Amino acid sequence: MSDEVGSEEGEAFESLDFIREWVRNDNEAGTYGGRVQTRFPPEPNGFLHIGHAKSIFLNFRLAEEHGGTCFLRFDDTNPETEDISYVDAIKQDLAWLGVTPSGPDKFASDYFGQLYDWAEDLINKGLAYVDDQDAETISAQRGGFGQPGVESPNRDRPPEENLGLFRQMRDGAFDDGSMALRAKIDMQSDNMWLRDPVMYRIRRVPHHRTDSQWILYPTYDWAHGQSDAIEGVTHSVCTLEFADHRALYDWFLDQLDLPSDQPRQNEFARLNITHTVLSKRVLRTLVEEGHVDGWDDARMPTIRGLRRRGYPAAAIEAFVERIGVAKTNSVVEVELLESFVRTHHNKSALRRMAVVKPLKLTITNWPEGHVVMVDANNNPEDPDAGTRQVPFTGELWIEQDDFKLDPPPKYYRLTPGREVRLRSAFFVTATDAVVDDDGNVIEVLATYDPATEGGSSPDGRKVKSTMHWVSAPHAVDATVHSYDRLFTAEHPGSGDEDRQPLDDLNPASRETTQAKLEPALADVAPGQVVQFERLGYFAADVDDARVFHRTVGLRDEWANIQKRKKS
């Protein structure tokens, strides 16, 4: 045990990711006097998904590892898309993930006053100017890749005039979009973000926190680094698409009289997962076009969706820690995530029997009306989980897939003449089957061996297969949703130039059946995850415990055998 811990520590020390190494180096060099402060800065305009979880655990654990602090800050600089409901949802999701901000939540909007004052400072220093050209003109003047921009005719407006105009902008003298405050940097820069970026725009839109106090709203670039500095952030970690903004982040900070050490930005690659889309735009379309039931549909990669699906926060964290953080653009296989979910539930989930696609099995030599209570293990992985009593009768439900009139090769399950074990109960031998007009098996007839009670034969006879079952007179009804990938393609929307992720939507991503459950399953709490033996892990719905979602199936050797045969 102690050896294991020791080697884990050694390993962790040797394989720090580049972000952790960056922070550690700063610490050793005393850059921030041993202080580490990070932040998770979502814009409250949507729901968190598993991609955010990567950033969340990185930021929060990074701070913890150094005894530092990490705040939740809402980057609420664009009132047009934001809403207070998202603020609440994000806080709930964060709490569910199990991270706790170091103090009260922060909002970029809390700094609108300070940001405004700093903007006036830049104007006075001749480093910012009011441009009364429209957005289209400004964009055109910005130039292109490899072509320099052209300077705005307003670029050399004297500071006093800029200051007057800026105050008038603030006080409502101009129309929305008619004027902007721009930083005066370098229209020739190779970095587009340095070609006099916009700092303020006029928007007469009420803000979810400041209401109509402001009509002037700072852009992301003008707000972000300054918010970091105000809060005392030391290491500002974001995703790769902001790499080009770093020069601007630094430029702004360089011009100001900061209340603390200057924070620095570093970027890592965002998370991509096969058969999954993490684009907010596409996710929104899925919801709006009704391809899923909502943001919290169990097929959604949102935190709320994963929770409904039965993915535990601890497994999500283990997953994001395992994939690590790098600058390499990468696509992780969903199977890796699923394996963490299985590993987690395998240790703790109670084992229960449930028949998801029921087929009637009648034991012809069973004494009429007789009920036997059999003892069944609650979790072979956990000796403390104990056992439970399960009623067994001559009228049972078994899985449709567990009986074949005409079995394929290597099929171990029930078929006429074959004896199998009904888990924890008896050996049974199929004798006959009732078939309907379409050739579908609607009932299996079998005999049982009374000497095999408990599931083993005194003569040492072996069976090839053990199957789950539910006593029909005792069965509890439930609705079970079994899920397949939401997108059939490994990389949705890739391939053809104009192929869209939605083109790869799986029309059969959810199969809903009416299941038969053993009586103990009536006691499952909403949100609880149990293992339906031989089928997988299933989560009782968070709102209705009579509805189950298949979290993830068990590894399925039989399915692999069939798949191999096909190809």
Partner RNA sequence: UCCCGGGUAGUUCAGUUGGUAGAACACCAGACUUUGAAUCUGGCCGUCGCAGGUUCGAGUCCUGCCCCGGGAGCCA
DSSP state of 262: P
- Pick the closer one to RNA by CB: 337 or 433: 337
Q: Is 106 a catalytic residue?
A: no
Subset of 349-388 contacting RNA (CB under 7 A)? 351, 379-381
User: Is the Cβ–Cβ distance between 55 and 317 less than 8 Å?
Assistant: no
Cα 119 from chain centre: 38
Min. distance of Cβ 79 from RNA in angstroms? 9
The SS3 assignment for 245 reads helix
Min. distance of Cβ 271 from RNA in angstroms? 8
Q: Dig out the tokens for 309 from the structure.
A: 């699906």
CA distance 243 to 265: 8
Q: Of the residues 43, 338, 381, 490, which is catalytic?
A: 43
Cα angle 230-236-240, degrees, rounded to a multiple of 5: 140
Q: Which helix H or strand E contains 85, and what residues bound it?
A: helix 84-97
Candidates 24-32, 237-245, 515-523, 541-549: pick the segment binding RNA (CB under 7 A).
Answer: 237-245
Rounded to the nearest 10 degrees, the angle between the axes of helix 50-65 and helix 18-29 is 20
User: Is the Cβ–Cβ distance between 163 and 124 less than 8 Å?
Assistant: yes
Min. distance of Cβ 68 from RNA in angstroms? 21
- Pick the closer one to RNA by CB: 35 or 49: 49
- Pick the closer one to RNA by CB: 332 or 441: 332
Candidates 63-71, 119-127, 307-315, 337-345: pick the segment binding RNA (CB under 7 A).
Answer: 337-345
Min. distance of Cβ 142 from RNA in angstroms? 4
Subset of 241-300 contacting RNA (CB under 7 A)? 241-245, 269
Residue 564, strand partner residues:
none
Binding string, 457-476, against RNA, x = CB under 7 A? --------xxx---------
The SS3 assignment for 131 reads strand
Q: Which of 95, 371, 435, 561 binds RNA (CB under 7 A)?
A: 561
Q: Which of 8, 10, 18, 259 binds RNA (CB under 7 A)?
A: 18
Q: Which of 160, 171, 335, 511 binds RNA (CB under 7 A)?
A: 335
Min. distance of Cβ 227 from RNA in angstroms? 10
User: Is the Cβ–Cβ distance between 418 and 487 less than 8 Å?
Assistant: no
Report the relative pairing of strands 395-399 and 358-363 from DSSP bridges. antiparallel
Q: Which amino acid is at 355?
A: V
Q: Of the residues 280, 327, 360, 499, which is catalytic?
A: 280
Q: Which of 2, 29, 67, 147 binds RNA (CB under 7 A)?
A: 147
83 belongs to the binding site for RNA (CB under 7 A): no
With the C-alpha atoms ordered 96, 381, 379, 346, is the resulting torsion angle positive or negative? positive
100 belongs to the binding site for RNA (CB under 7 A): no
Min. distance of Cβ 223 from RNA in angstroms? 7
Q: Dig out the tokens for 179 from the structure.
A: 């004027």
551 belongs to the binding site for RNA (CB under 7 A): no
Percent helix, percent strand, percent coil in the chain, to nearest 5:
35, 25, 40
Min. distance of Cβ 228 from RNA in angstroms? 12
How many Cβ atoms sit within 10 Å of the Cβ of residue 367? 11
Cα 489 from chain centre: 19
Give which of 441, 408, 412, 402 is closest to 566, Cα–Cα: 408
Q: Which of 342, 344, 357, 549 binds RNA (CB under 7 A)?
A: 342
Residue 477, strand partner residues:
516
Candidates 128-136, 308-316, 387-395, 474-482: pick the segment binding RNA (CB under 7 A).
Answer: 128-136
- Pick the closer one to RNA by CB: 494 or 512: 494
Subset of 396-455 contacting RNA (CB under 7 A)? 410-413, 421, 423-424, 454-455
339 belongs to the binding site for RNA (CB under 7 A): yes
- Pick the closer one to RNA by CB: 186 or 261: 186
Min. distance of Cβ 486 from RNA in angstroms? 18
User: How many residues in the shown chain lie near RNA by CB under 7 A?
Assistant: 93
Candidates 14-22, 86-94, 114-122, 287-295: pick the segment binding RNA (CB under 7 A).
Answer: 14-22
Contacts of 314 (CB under 8 A, 6+ apart): 98, 344
DSSP state of 461: -
Q: Which of 167, 204, 284, 322 binds RNA (CB under 7 A)?
A: 322
How far from 63 is each of 100, 105, 174, 245, 319, CA to CA, in Å?
11, 16, 44, 24, 19
Candidates 25-33, 205-213, 522-530, 552-560: pick the segment binding RNA (CB under 7 A).
Answer: 552-560
Q: Which of 7, 15, 365, 512 binds RNA (CB under 7 A)?
A: 15
Q: Is 43 a catalytic residue?
A: yes
Q: Of the residues 155, 270, 327, 546, which is catalytic?
A: 270
Subset of 177-196 contacting RNA (CB under 7 A)? 177-180, 190-193
348 belongs to the binding site for RNA (CB under 7 A): no
Task: Tell me the backbone φ, ψ of residue 354, rounded to 5 degrees.
Answer: -145, 140
Rounded to the nearest 10 degrees, the angle between the axes of helix 112-124 and helix 220-231 is 110
Subset of 27-66 contacting RNA (CB under 7 A)? 41, 43
Min. distance of Cβ 543 from RNA in angstroms? 27
CA distance 481 to 551: 9
Q: Dig out the tokens for 277 from the structure.
A: 């889309």
Q: Is 64 a catalytic residue?
A: no
- Pick the closer one to RNA by CB: 32 or 487: 487
Subset of 488-547 contacting RNA (CB under 7 A)? 531, 533-534
CA distance 113 to 416: 80
CA distance 386 to 558: 29
- Pick the closer one to RNA by CB: 463 or 542: 463
Catalytic positions are: 43, 270, 280
